[in-house]
Amino acid sequence: GPEYVRAIAPYQAGKPISEVAREFGLDEASIVKLASNENPLGMPESAKQAMLAEMKEIGRYPDANGFQLKAAVSEKYGVPQDWITLGNGSNDILEIAAHAFVQPNQSVVYAEYSFAVYALATQAVGARAIVVPAKDFGHDLQAMTKAIQPDTRLVFIANPNNPTGTFLPAAELEAFLKQVPPNVVVVLDEAYNEYLDPSLQYDSIAWVRQYPNLLVSRTMSKAYGLAGLRVGFGIAQPQLTDLLNRIRQPFNVNSLAQAAAVAALNDTAFLRKSAELNRSGYRQLTRAFEVMGLEYVPSFGNFVLVRVGQDDGAGARVNLALLKQGIIVRPVGAYGLPQWLRISIGLPEENEAFLAALKRTLG
């Protein structure tokens, strides 16, 4: 295979509960997983019912064009159906974008401490990564603008960002979009958008109308509670969307996922409940960190990065101690943050179990 494929470092997913139970001799039911930015409420009941109803058709192929799901997205975001690309999770959208717009030896720009799949998607197409140093744990958009080269075809921006939880205000993003050359596609990855306080919300779809090189990416894995079903979507003008759909596998979103996603998109009560639970869980965790004297990065997502020591072994060491107590969180050493752990915000009792274990560990 190509050298650039052999050079890829595999994605490190959160450890599954069953694996931790086996490895540490624990009861699965006692394990708390706060490692993958999942929705602690699980899937909405409305989506579960829609999925179960769809089961009777499971012998058939899914709708290759996802008509009903696109209709629901179209209705919710006020864009025509030919502006929408459906993905098997938003990871799929990110990868499809790299395949559609970037050739080997061209370059892709993204930020230090940003989502791991940007590096993977870049490497998968044999492109060169231009990784721009972070500023206060977030994207330095001015530096990212300057980093764009004549051979750059794609820029990945996460807002809010994972794993740091930082947020870029609308004005900064808009100034950035104005400066990006029109032959460079900007992927604005809004996986955690639904957790933003209403006062911080901005209209990225208006930018999609204005900028033919902008692709907004959304997921149903976080606030919508459908991580296991794998649904994401991209919104861009038809010229971009047409290219994405040529690369997209025809049946990339399965029929159960499509049915559940339609229901979840329309379940605003569930969305509101998820965001509220997240806000109170964030306060619960960060207040405890303050009492414990632990530094954390203020987060706008459904997770928070906390510094668990002053040496580069700290993240791995505290992570192992937590695993032994049945708490799964995410070490971020591979992101270049070896003194930190990323904690997904859970139910109040899950957050409490994590905090108790952390206190026992740090003494």
For binding to ligand PMP (CB under 6 A), which residues are involved? 37, 89-91, 115, 158, 162, 189, 191, 219, 221, 227, 232
Beta carbon of residue 293, minimum distance to ligand PMP (angstroms, whole number): 28
Beta carbon of residue 359, minimum distance to ligand PMP (angstroms, whole number): 28
Beta carbon of residue 191, minimum distance to ligand PMP (angstroms, whole number): 4
Nearer to ligand PMP, 163 or 325 (CB): 163
Beta carbon of residue 141, minimum distance to ligand PMP (angstroms, whole number): 16
Closest-by-Cβ residue to ligand PMP is 89
Nearer to ligand PMP, 123 or 221 (CB): 221
Query: What amino acid is encoded at 348 in this protein?
Result: P
**Which H or E element spans position 276?**
helix 268-292
> Is the Cβ–Cβ distance between 249 and 269 less than 8 Å?
no
- Residue 328 CA, distance from chain mean position: 18
**Among 82, 50, 43, CA closest to 65:** 82
**Among 156, 139, 110, CA closest to 300:** 139
> Is the Cβ–Cβ distance between 338 and 308 less than 8 Å?
no
Return the bridge partners of 131, or none. Answer: 110
| Pairing mode, strands 84-87 and 330-331 | unpaired
Nearer to ligand PMP, 227 or 314 (CB): 227
The CA–CA distances, whole Å, from 135 to 114, 123, 281 equal: 12, 24, 26
Residue 123: HSE in the Cβ half-sphere, 13 Å Cα cutoff: 15
Beta carbon of residue 230, minimum distance to ligand PMP (angstroms, whole number): 6
Nearer to ligand PMP, 226 or 355 (CB): 226
Nearer to ligand PMP, 62 or 232 (CB): 232
Q: What is the largest CA-CA distance in the chain?
A: 57
Nearer to ligand PMP, 34 or 357 (CB): 34
Beta carbon of residue 189, minimum distance to ligand PMP (angstroms, whole number): 5
Return the bridge partners of 218, or none. Answer: 233
Beta carbon of residue 342, minimum distance to ligand PMP (angstroms, whole number): 10
Nearer to ligand PMP, 189 or 267 (CB): 189
359 vs 363: CA distance, rounded Å? 6
